[in-house]
Amino acid sequence: MSKDIKIEAITDMETDFAQWYTDVVKKAELIDYSPVRGCMVLRPYGYAIWELIQKELDSKFKESGHENVYMPLFIPESLLQKEKDHVEGFAPECAVVTIGGQEPLNERLIVRPTSETLFCDHYANIIESYRDLPKLYNQWCSVVRWEKNTRPFLRTMEFLWQEGHTAHETAEEAEAETLKILDIYSNFYENILAIPVIKGRKTEREKFAGAKSTYTVESMMHDKKALQGGTSHNFGDGFAKTFGIQFTDKNNKLQYAHQTSWGVSTRMIGGIIMVHGDNNGLVLPPNIAPIQLIVVPIAMHKEGVLDKAKEIKERLSFIARVSIDESDKSPGWKFSEAEMKGIPLRLEIGPKDIEKGQCVLVRRDNREKYTIQLSSLENEVSALLIKIQKDLFAKAKKHLDSNIRPATSIQEFESILNEETCFIKTMWCGDGACELEIKEKTSATSRCMPFEQEELGDVCVCCGKPANKMVIWGKAY
Partner RNA sequence: CGGGGUGUAGCGUAGUUUGGCUAGCGCGCCUGAUUUGGGAUCAGGAGGUCGCAGGUUCAAAUCCUGUCACCCCGACCA
Per-residue x/- marks for RNA, 389-428, CB under 7 A?
----------------------------------------
Which of residues 65, 72, 332, 466 is near RNA by CB under 7 A? 332
Instruction: Report how far residue 252's alpha carbon sits from residue 404's, in angstroms, rounded to the nearest whole number.
Output: 52
Instruction: Report how far residue 189's alpha carbon sits from residue 360's, in angstroms, rounded to the nearest whole number.
Output: 31
The answer to whether residue 328 forms part of the interface with RNA (CB under 7 A) is yes
Which of residues 129, 317, 382, 443 is near RNA by CB under 7 A? 443
Residue 135 beta carbon to RNA: minimum distance, rounded to whole angstroms: 23
Residue 412 beta carbon to RNA: minimum distance, rounded to whole angstroms: 20
Which of residues 278, 348, 365, 435 is near RNA by CB under 7 A? 348
Per-residue x/- marks for RNA, 19-48, CB under 7 A?
x--x----x-----x--xxx----------
Of 97-105, 127-135, 240-248, 333-341, the segment contacting RNA by CB under 7 A is 333-341
Instruction: Report how far residue 75's alpha carbon sits from residue 119's, in angstroms, rounded to the nearest whole number.
Output: 11
User: Which residue, 82 or 151, is less far from RNA as judged by CB?
Assistant: 151
The answer to whether residue 2 forms part of the interface with RNA (CB under 7 A) is yes
Instruction: Report how far residue 421's alpha carbon sits from residue 406's, in angstroms, rounded to the nearest whole number.
Output: 13
Residue 333 beta carbon to RNA: minimum distance, rounded to whole angstroms: 4
Query: 3-class SS at 183?
Result: helix
Number of residues that bind RNA (CB under 7 A): 67
Q: Which amino acid is at 172?
A: E
Instruction: Report how far residue 62's alpha carbon sits from residue 39's, in angstroms, rounded to the nearest whole number.
Output: 30
Residues 60-89 touching RNA, rule: CB under 7 A, are none
Cβ(196)–Cβ(275) below 8 Å: no
Residue 184 beta carbon to RNA: minimum distance, rounded to whole angstroms: 17
Which of residues 23, 77, 353, 435 is near RNA by CB under 7 A? 353
Which of residues 288, 359, 392, 410 is near RNA by CB under 7 A? 359
Residue 4 beta carbon to RNA: minimum distance, rounded to whole angstroms: 8
Number of Cβ within 10 Å of residue 121's Cβ equals 18
Instruction: Report how far residue 336's alpha carbon sits from residue 27's, in angstroms, rounded to the nearest whole number.
Output: 11
**How far is the CA of 94 from the CAs of 192, 259, 319, in angstroms?**
33, 24, 46
Instruction: Report how far residue 139's alpha carbon sits from residue 131's, in angstroms, rounded to the nearest whole number.
Output: 23
Which of residues 20, 50, 61, 159 is near RNA by CB under 7 A? 159
Which of residues 43, 82, 155, 441 is near RNA by CB under 7 A? 155
Where are any strands of DSSP class E within 77-155? 95-100, 103-111, 135-144
Note every long-range contact of 30-33, with CB atoms under 8 Å and residues 24 or more positions apart, other chains counting: 30/152, 30/153, 30/269, 30/273, 30/282, 31/152, 31/153, 33/152
**How far is the CA of 79 from the CAs of 53, 82, 118, in angstroms?**
32, 5, 8
What does 387-450 look like in DSSP terms, one character per residue?
Answer: HHHHHHHHHHHHHHHTTEEE-SSHHHHHHHHHH---EEEEEE-S-HHHHHHHHHHH--EEEEEE
Which of residues 74, 176, 179, 331 is near RNA by CB under 7 A? 331
Cβ(414)–Cβ(445) below 8 Å: no
Residues 196-225 touching RNA, rule: CB under 7 A, are 208
Of 57-65, 140-148, 234-242, 454-462, the segment contacting RNA by CB under 7 A is 140-148
> Which residues of this protein are in contact with RNA, per CB under 7 A?
1-3, 5, 7-9, 18-19, 22, 27, 33, 36-38, 92-93, 145, 147-151, 154-157, 159, 161, 208, 228, 231, 263, 265-267, 280, 298-301, 328-333, 335-337, 339-340, 346, 348-353, 359-360, 362, 367, 439, 443, 476-477
